Amino acid sequence: MMNEVFVDAVRDCGVPVMRCLFEADDELAALARKLNCPVLSYDSDFYIYNVRYIPLITLTVKARTKLRKESASRRNLRKNEAKKLEKLVKGNRVIRGITINNQETSPQWVTYKYLDCCLYRVEKLISRSSLSKEKIPLFAALLGNDFISRKLFQNFFAYGLGKIGGSRKTNQHQRRIRRILEWLKHESLESALEKIMNHLPKAS
């Protein structure tokens, strides 16, 4: 009953819930782009989706507080947001001096709560590896995923990709990732697909 208890708990907190009967990766990615928010997950597939991704293992559960000085433009933006919120909920004014240790501070200083985590963006991968977005699905397939086994590309790794090389600082999988990125850098999507297909096992 763990799943149902969790869903009931987040609904009680007013958090909208959507569920999938089967694999939800594509739906999660589409929803994250629509809502402009990151995906929080254990699934490493999201490293190569075109979404912001927070690996669940990097998220701390302790809320932290930070105080920062706010620019005039940011204060005006917050005031406008507060007016909109006040109009929507018909509540009291939201923006006022921030109280810290029972003392009201100047309005240009604000506090906010946050959870510490690591946020990954596919743009960082692209900028550091000269890998275009159109090649990312191919890159992921060569590494192996839920749909394609890496064993399918054994001939390509042995004869088409070239020597991977060795290093004491990195393991075999890390060296393969670097070699694939280096190879894709000098190939178009069409030429890469053609060379990979030439080394796939022939159907009997």
Pairing of strands 99-100, 103-104: antiparallel
How far apart CA 18 and CA 3 sit, in angstroms, is 13
Average pLDDT over residues 95-111: 52
Please state, rounded to an integer, the average pLDDT across all residues of the chain.
78
**Same domain membership, residue 195 and residue 170:** yes
Task: State the pLDDT at residue 98.
Answer: 40
- Any idea what DSSP says for residue 150? G
pLDDT at residue 181 tops 70 = yes
Number of structural domains found in the chain: 3
pLDDT at residue 196 tops 70 = yes
Residue 2 domain-assigned? yes
**Same domain membership, residue 187 and residue 161:** yes
pLDDT digits (tens, 9 = 90+) for 21-42: 888 888 999 999 999 999 999 8
Q: How far is CA 71 from CA 66, 107, 182, in A?
A: 16, 10, 43
Confidence of residue 52 (pLDDT cuts 50, 70, 90): very high
Confidence of residue 103 (pLDDT cuts 50, 70, 90): very low
Among 42, 57, 72, the domain boundary falls at 57
Average pLDDT over residues 176-199: 87
Residue 69 domain-assigned? yes
How far apart CA 196 and CA 122 sit, in angstroms, is 24
Q: Which residue has the tokens 């600082």?
A: 169
**Same domain membership, residue 197 and residue 142:** yes
Confidence of residue 72 (pLDDT cuts 50, 70, 90): low
Domain limits at 47? 1-57
**Same domain membership, residue 196 and residue 137:** yes
Task: Name the nearest CA neighbour of 29 among 17, 42, 40.
Answer: 40
How far apart CA 47 and CA 128 sit, in angstroms, is 14
Residue 123 domain-assigned? no
Task: State the pLDDT at residue 173.
Answer: 78
Residue 119 domain-assigned? no
Query: 153: buried, middle or exposed (CB in 10 Å: 19+, 13-18, 0-12)?
Result: buried
Task: Name the nearest CA neighbour of 71 among 105, 106, 109.
Answer: 109
**Same domain membership, residue 144 and residue 191:** yes
Residue 40 domain-assigned? yes
pLDDT at residue 67 tops 70 = yes
Average pLDDT over residues 46-64: 89
Average pLDDT over residues 148-155: 80
Task: State the pLDDT at residue 127.
Answer: 79
Task: State the pLDDT at residue 82.
Answer: 61
CB neighbour burial string for 49-86, b if at least 16 within 10 angstroms, e if fewer? bebbbbbeeeeeeeeeeeeeebeeeeeeeeeeeeeeee
Specify the long-range contacts of residues 61-65, CB closer than 8 Å, at least 24 apart: 61/115, 62/115, 62/116, 63/113, 63/114, 63/115, 64/113, 64/114, 64/115, 64/116, 65/111, 65/112, 65/113
CA 62, distance to chain mean position in Å, is 21
